[in-house]
Structure 1
Amino acid sequence: MFKSQTSSLFITNGLTALAFAFILPIMSLFLVTELHAKPALIGLYTTITALMTVLVSQKLTGLIDKGISSKVLFVISLCGIAAASIGFSFAVEFWHALVIGGLLMPIASSSVPLILTIIRNYADSTGKNSAKLNSQMRSSVSLLWIFGPHSRSFLLQD
């Protein structure tokens, strides 16, 4: 079942989405409960992370346009997910989270658009319907976000 390229891409896409389903939905809860951040600081964190993500994504797509392999950039973005996760586990002050969120999370956040680029390139090179394959992959991301680990974590709270 998992021997085809499409299946490998589907699994990779799903695991990438699952990694974000572990991190993003509980970030503000982490900032408040563990780092005791005030609401204004959460807004600052969100703003800086969003702006940096836009800038990094633009830079990475520019690198793809210049001929850098999207697969190499995807592996770098996966390293960003791992590094950000490890960094957040050691964060004890708000500014730690701000640095991690401003430097590593934008690289990590680029993984989803990069895997979708890889999927589109694969579909185009094999003659498959790229719109159909891309929509299936996006649907799997949505499904994982709905039924992902964060939905169960709220059910487990006392």
Structure 2
Amino acid sequence: MQNAPVTAARKPLDFTSTAFLIVAFLTGIAGALQTPTLSLFLTDEVHVRPALVGFFFTGSAVIGILVSQFLAGRSDRKGDRKTLIFACCLLGAMGCVLFAWNRNYFILLFVGVFLSSFGSTANPQMFALAREHADSTGREAVMFSSILRAQVSLAWVIGPPIAYALAMGFGFKAMYLCAAFAFVICGAMVWLFLPSMRKEPAVKTTATLESPRRNRRDALLLFAACTMMWGCNSLYIINMPLYIINELHLPEKLAG
């Protein structure tokens, strides 16, 4: 009697999960190409005073918060996150093209930042869609989200050096066009491979509407800690390139 050869069943390639990983990396790259060089771009290309550089970042934060909160509330209630992420990628690409060709401060502040805010929202919306997909397919949601965050972290490790290499070697126009290209590829990946998740109507109860009072103090402390942490991070990102180039007189590419 011959024993039949035992072959291990191969697990088919999960294109959806792979697409999530690629989208997470590309959205991270698109952001990492723009943010680290923004203060240098405003100083050298737009030729604005230091006070206007700070005002630009303040306006960018305010507009970004408003756009992000509006889209987050809308996507949680109705609509398809896939379509929203696709639209955000296209608008983000348009914002990059505007930064590539325009040098008017106020147009960049109000129109460019508005478009870029949609591009920035693509990343958190992608995480929300990934969580819904993981829950619906029985995948470990926490581990999957951790892997996606690792992709974004990887993008921010290699993105800033690439951004400065492009900006210093080929100009800011080439750098922003590369960021726009990343958004376009990301939008294509979203449209072709990411799933559409149907919204389930939420049942509103007293338990879901009211949070325990004892948690509010902890939430306020967490809010204050995150605000200070991200404030320090923003100070570093804004001032570090200018300090290295203008004060230490080191090569511009070293800031990356």
Deviation at 1:154, TM superposition (A): 4.3
Deviation at 1:109, TM superposition (A): 1.2
Q: Is the CA contact (8 Å cut-off) linking 2:32 and 2:163 kept in structure 1?
A: no
Task: Count matched residues.
Answer: 157
The reply on whether 1:75 has 2:86 as its aligned counterpart is yes
Report what 1:96 is aligned to. Answer: 107
Report what 1:110 is aligned to. Answer: 121
The reply on whether 1:144 has 2:155 as its aligned counterpart is yes
The reply on whether 1:50 has 2:50 as its aligned counterpart is no
- Residues 1:73 and 1:153: Cα distance change in structure 2 (over 3 Å): closer
Q: Is the CA contact (8 Å cut-off) linking 1:28 and 1:42 kept in structure 2?
A: yes
Aligned residue identity for 2:99: F
Deviation at 1:59, TM superposition (A): 0.7
- Residues 1:19 and 1:36: Cα distance change in structure 2 (over 3 Å): same
Per-residue CA deviations over 1:94-150 (Å, capped at 9, x if unaligned) read 1122123432121111011011111111111111111110011011101110122x2
Where has structure 1 moved over 6 Å in runs of 4 or more? none
Q: Is the CA contact (8 Å cut-off) linking 1:49 and 1:101 kept in structure 2?
A: no
What CA RMSD, in Å, does the superposition of the two structures yield over aligned residues? 1.9
Q: Aligned partners of 1:21, 1:88: CA distance in 2, in Å?
A: 15
Instruction: Give the TM-score taking structure 1 as reference length.
Output: 0.91
The reply on whether 1:11 has 2:22 as its aligned counterpart is yes
The reply on whether 1:122 has 2:133 as its aligned counterpart is yes
- Residues 1:80 and 1:99: Cα distance change in structure 2 (over 3 Å): same
Q: Is the CA contact (8 Å cut-off) linking 1:2 and 1:8 kept in structure 2?
A: no
Aligned residue identity for 1:24: T
Q: Aligned partners of 1:2, 1:18: CA distance in 2, in Å?
A: 25
Q: Aligned partners of 1:44, 1:2: CA distance in 2, in Å?
A: 48
Secondary structure of the equivalent of 2:79? coil
Aligned residue identity for 1:80: L
- Residues 1:82 and 1:120: Cα distance change in structure 2 (over 3 Å): same
Secondary structure of the equivalent of 1:104? helix
Gaps of 5+ in 2: 1-11, 170-251
Question: Is 116-125 or 100-109 further displaced after alignment?
Answer: 100-109
Q: Aligned partners of 1:25, 1:144: CA distance in 2, in Å?
A: 13
Q: Aligned partners of 1:54, 1:77: CA distance in 2, in Å?
A: 15
- Residues 1:38 and 1:89: Cα distance change in structure 2 (over 3 Å): same
Higher radius of gyration, 1 or 2? 2
Q: Is the CA contact (8 Å cut-off) linking 1:13 and 1:112 kept in structure 2?
A: yes
Aligned residue identity for 1:57: S
